[in-house]
A and B are shown apart, each in its own frame.
Chain A
Amino acid sequence: MRLKGKVHKFGANVDTDVIIPARYLNISEPDELAKHCMEDIDAEFTTKAKRGDIIIATTNFGCGSSREHAPLAIKACGVSCVIAQSFARIFFRNAINIGLPLLECPEAVDETEAGDILEVDLSSGKINNISKHKIFIANPYPEFMMGIINAGGLIQYTNRRKEKPSS
């Protein structure tokens, strides 16, 4: 699967309270949540983000609460994937479970600026910075996790396992 979009760049420790503030957690519809995504650190984010765009961040992206509303809000904004130096673990699980692709690639984060255009090939982990003519390779997913990703999320993965318990 190939993704292409403009980069929005963030720093370290982007927490789930800024991805989607708790004051909006009395709703769970992704499109409603998306209206408030990132608003406490970048009030313009939801108007700037276009379908396919890519979030780049440094370390520990998604730290804080277990709210699945955070990856849901990012995905519903049209963001096609998040590339970071590292992710907080609950956010990582949640994103994989709901089908928001994440890539760990410190080099790509270091050498990419806001506004660059990236093309990402999820199956190979190849990140092409078209604006800077540079290519990076993200850390591969463990095989087990590829199973969940290929199924399209944890619910689909679990449903398949129920049908074919031996697999």
Chain B
Amino acid sequence: MKTLAEKILAAHSSQKEVTAGEFINVQADLVLSNDVTAPLAIKEFQRLGVGKTFNPEKVVMVPDHFCPNKDIKSAEQAKLIREFAKEQGILYFEVGRMGIEHVLLPEQGLVLPGQVIIGADSHTCTYGALGAFSTGMGSTDIAVAMATGEIWMKVPQTIKFIYHGTLPKWVGGKDLILYTIGDVGVDGALYSVMEFTGEAIDELPMEGRFTMANMAIEAGAKAGIFSVDDRTREYVTEHGNKSYSVYKSDEDAEYSKIVEYDVSQIEPQVAFPSLPSNTKPVSQAHDIKLDQVLIGGCTNGRLGDLRLAAKILKGQQIHPELRCIIIPGSQRVYLDALREGLLEIFIEAGAAVSTPTCGPCLGGHMGVLAAGERCLSTTNRNFVGRMGSPKSEVYLANPAIASASAILGRIGDPEEVT
């Protein structure tokens, strides 16, 4: 009768079972914030007058947005959270040992199947890839959760997405989620959980699942979620090997809607400015000239994404009139990419490679756009002014399309360069 999301929420509430629409208090297994949202959360936390966090092992801060510090104001924010973290003894990852939060936490084994994770970052929904219920909130919510370990929630309804068929070449998690958002719209899953299922999902590597769950928020969803399978178990074993609980949607669980796709008919997708739902197949995007390509972010900054980019960029040259910036999502991804020789391929091709940061995705630093410039990015948002000037444009696509486009100087298909 119950969905996966309802079962996880019930297990974290004082009730035996919960139903969509109910207001409940939920216990959090992990409470996250970053250098942009933590300063406000700390200020509100102090107004609660509790002194200490509810459990320092369940509160984590990651300086990733404007870090390494981009200017004096960012440095002040980073300093504030560093000092708070030290004073409270909470989990904290310093520059040089960190990563983009949503790449870092799963890799560190800090988020697990069956958990409830809340974060002051909208892309906290990423951990749904592991079969967790994870959702983004604001700084005040996070302040209260840091103090009490609890947060109020309205139990969301669930929309089931079923992906049938076999994935065509160059089509991955990014394309499935862009296609889905293009279909349902940027508020098509408002307040809902998107449950991703079907034989194409069974075959999807963990990287692709993280990408899909990451972008559930771009359809307005509260969470994106996958069932635990052998791929999940293998990932969790390799990353911390901690114990966890597995929940599964009942056969007769109640969904607000069921949406089905045949993935064998899906081409790689490109989201045109200025909404992630403004998608077209790549074959209809070939005449768009680019100034910059960004490969990385919490959406596509994992090792599998960089391997895909390297496969296309190997022995090639970045187009002379284009900047290609590649940002591994964490120090571990960075080191693995170095050891595998991927970074050498990128640098020989003429790409810039940087330490992990969210930086350019939100127009912070490390690749901000000027008026009139166009960037194709593997990140998750292409809103007006997202990566810099309000007169710049952002297109979203998968790492294979991004790499091929970096070579061509315009949006293009890997088949054109391999």
Residues of A at the B interface (CB closer than 8 Å) are 13, 15, 17-18, 21-23, 25-28, 40-41, 59-60, 63-69, 72, 86, 88-90, 93-94, 97-98, 142, 144-145, 153-155, 158-159, 162
- Judging by beta carbons under 8 Å apart, are B140 and A144 in contact? no
- Judging by beta carbons under 8 Å apart, are A66 and B48 in contact? no
Partner of B122 from the list A60, A66, A69 (CB cut-off 8 Å) is A66
- Judging by beta carbons under 8 Å apart, are B141 and A155 in contact? no
Offer 22 A-B interface pairs, CB within 8 angstroms, sorted by A: A15-B383, A17-B362, A22-B364, A25-B65, A26-B36, A41-B390, A60-B220, A63-B186, A64-B122, A65-B121, A66-B136, A68-B37, A69-B40, A86-B190, A89-B191, A90-B138, A94-B140, A94-B141, A142-B23, A144-B152, A145-B23, A153-B140
- Residues from chain B with Cβ under 8 Å of A155 in the complex: 44, 47-48, 140, 143-144
- Judging by beta carbons under 8 Å apart, are B190 and A17 in contact? no
Considering the chains assembled together, what is the distance between the CA atoms of A63 and B276 in angstroms? 11
Considering the chains assembled together, what is the distance between the CA atoms of A69 and B137 in angstroms? 12
Q: How far is the CB of A152 from chain B (nearest CB, A)?
A: 12
**Additional pairs, 6, CB under 8 Å, beyond known A15-B384, A26-B66, A93-B137:** A21-B390, A22-B386, A41-B390, A66-B119, A90-B217, A155-B47
Q: How far is the CB of A51 from chain B (nearest CB, A)?
A: 23
- Residues from chain A with Cβ under 8 Å of B119 in the complex: 66
- Judging by beta carbons under 8 Å apart, are B383 and A64 in contact? yes
- Judging by beta carbons under 8 Å apart, are B275 and A13 in contact? yes
Considering the chains assembled together, what is the distance between the CA atoms of A69 and B39 in angstroms? 11
Task: Determine which residue in A21, A90, A154 has the highest number of CB atoms from chain B within 10 A of its CB, and name it.
Answer: A90
- Kindly identify, within residues 117 to 138 of chain B, every residue whose CB is under 8 Å from any CB belonging to chain A: 119-122, 124, 136-138
Partner of B137 from the list A18, A64, A66 (CB cut-off 8 Å) is A66
- Judging by beta carbons under 8 Å apart, are B222 and A23 in contact? no
Considering the chains assembled together, what is the distance between the CA atoms of A40 and B220 in angstroms? 22
- Residues from chain A with Cβ under 8 Å of B368 in the complex: 23
- Residues from chain B with Cβ under 8 Å of A65 in the complex: 121-122, 362, 381
- Judging by beta carbons under 8 Å apart, are B381 and A17 in contact? yes
- Residues from chain A with Cβ under 8 Å of B147 in the complex: 158
Considering the chains assembled together, what is the distance between the CA atoms of A67 and B66 in angstroms? 14
- Judging by beta carbons under 8 Å apart, are B138 and A17 in contact? no
